[in-house]
Amino acid sequence: MRANLLVIYTTRREECRRFYASLGLAFQAEQHGSGPPHHAAVLPDGMVFEIYPAATGTTGPLRLGFAVETLPGYAAGRHLLHDPDGRTVELRIER
């Protein structure tokens, strides 16, 4: 088994998109039928990360982790960041 989808809900969709894009995620705008517009990024292993609008609030307490080989502005190692909604994002730079 492997995870293949993670959806976060936010009232700050554009701010969250910019934050996660700054970590290297490439988002596409999507809308399925009459559903809400949202952003989706497909990770190299095929997992889909989506940012959906929330009527109120956010997904709630959640800790996410991403590993990348390199990312400008970050040294190798573990970095704890916070997205615009305050979710903890653990970023691991592998080289």
Q: Do 92 and 66 form a contact (C-beta atoms < 8 A)?
A: yes
What is the per-residue pLDDT across 40-85, written as a single tens digit (0 to 9) for each?
999 999 999 999 999 877 777 889 999 999 999 999 999 999 999 9
> CA distances (Å), 31 to each of 34, 45, 53, 64, in order?
7, 23, 12, 24
Q: Quote the pTM value.
A: 0.92
Instruction: Give the model's pLDDT for residue 90.
Output: 97
CATH number, domain 5-93, options 2.70.240.10, 3.30.590.20, 3.30.43.10, 3.10.180.10: 3.10.180.10
Instruction: Give the model's pLDDT for residue 18.
Output: 98
Farthest CA pair distance, the chain: 43
The DSSP H or E segment spanning 80 is strand 77-82
Instruction: List phi, psi (to 5°) of 28.
Output: -120, 140
Instruction: State the first-to-last Cα distance of the chain, in angstroms, to the nearest integer.
Output: 28
